[in-house]
Amino acid sequence: GAVVSQHPSWVICKSGTSVKIECRSLDFQATTMFWYRQFPKQSLMLMATSNEGSKATYEQGVEKDKFLINHASLTLSTLTVTSAHPEDSSFYICSATNPGLGTEAFFGQGTRLTVV
Amino acid sequence: LAKTTQPISMDSYEGQEVNITCSHNNIATNDYITWYQQFPSQGPRFIIQGYKTKVTNEVASLFIPADRKSSTLSLPRVSLSDTAVYYCLVGDLRGDSSYKLIFGSGTRLLVRP
């Protein structure tokens, strides 16, 4: 089946620094990618939706200048958490879809971000 | 967007059949119903997907009544490793670039020895 890979799996950074998380579709072209944030014992919260070559569409309450999303190619999307603070510590998950592959969404393994 | 409602949690014992029901009263004509499983600190994993009636694969069955306003995920003979959170999603990913993959609260299944 289609594989989505996230990197890194976990990262610890200092408050005020920026962190980039990569999401790659390894064996298919991802026309749409979704980025989620998940806090402990909560559901996945959609942050933004991005289509290749277009600007990302952010959900209400998600700061686009803080969470920079780039979907420059059909196999790669990146999420950059700028000027990270401890409250940004969370589990970040990406998902990729391609209508040609049917109606299933493919998820990465997630990235655990800890801001100290 | 079709909102989904599931029980917050369920308990079961090893070897039992578990049925998790999801309500989606405003499901659209083109929407599919998909169930995902998530273990702690992992991304969701696809379990099964259906449009109507019954779908079965090697791990689960999905029952969808004629009105499609609900669906039931059936896990036969659960084991301890089935302890996870199960999410029901509805939507159509086939062509609408504005479609959003929204998760509901999910059902936390605990399987006891």
Q: How does pLDDT run across A26-73, given as a tens digit for each residue?
A: 999 998 999 999 999 999 999 999 888 788 999 999 999 999 999 889
Here the tokens at position A3 are 């594989």
Here the tokens at position B60 are 């689960």
Chain B residues with CB inside 8 Å of A90's CB? none
Is the Cβ of A46 closer than 8 Å to some Cβ of chain B?
A: yes
- Reported as a pLDDT band with limits 50, 70 and 90, residue B18 is very high
Average pLDDT over residues A65-85: 94
Q: Is the pLDDT of residue B1 over 60?
A: no
Q: Quick one: pLDDT at residue B94?
A: 63
- Judge: A97–B93 Cβ closer than 8 Å, yes or no: yes
Average pLDDT over residues A2-24: 96
Chain B residues with CB inside 8 Å of A112's CB? 41
Is the Cβ of B97 closer than 8 Å to some Cβ of chain A?
A: yes
Chain A residues with CB inside 8 Å of B104's CB? 43
Is the Cβ of B17 closer than 8 Å to some Cβ of chain A?
A: no
Do B12 and B76 touch, CB atoms closer than 8 A?
no
Which candidate from A46, A99, A109 shows the least CB-CB separation from B101?
A46
- Reported as a pLDDT band with limits 50, 70 and 90, residue A104 is confident
Nearest CA in chain A to B107: A43
Q: Which residue would you say has higher pLDDT here, B40 or B94? A: B40
- Angle at alpha carbon of residue A74, lines to A69 and A78, rounded to 5°: 25
Say which residues have a Cβ less than 8 Å from residue B96's Cβ, sequence separation at least 6. none
Residue type at position A24: R
Here the tokens at position B43 are 């991304």
Residue B17, min C-alpha distance to chain A (Å): 25
Chain B residues with CB inside 8 Å of A52's CB? none
Scored b (16 or more CB within 10 A) or e, B52-89 reads eeebeeeebbbbbeeebebbbbbbeebeeebbbbbbbb
Chain A residues with CB inside 8 Å of B87's CB? 43-44
From A23-27, A73-77, A83-87, B89-93, the region with the lowest mean pLDDT: B89-93
Is the Cβ of A34 closer than 8 Å to some Cβ of chain B?
A: yes
Nearest CA in chain A to B33: A103
Name the nearest CA neighbour of B47 among A90, A51, A105, A50.
A105
Average pLDDT over chain A, rounded to whole?
Answer: 93
Phi-psi region of B108 (alpha: psi -120 to 50; beta: other; left: phi over 0): beta
Which whole-number Å values give the CA distances from A56 to A9, B30, B112, in the listed order? 23, 25, 43
Strand B53-56 relative to strand B45-50, pairing:
unpaired
Which pLDDT tens digit goes with each residue over B67-113?
Answer: 999 999 999 999 999 999 999 998 876 655 556 778 889 999 999 99
C-alpha of B56 from chain center: 13
Q: Is the pLDDT of residue B24 over 90?
A: yes
Name the nearest CA neighbour of B20 among B35, B2, B3.
B35
In the block, residue with structure tokens 């991005």: A50
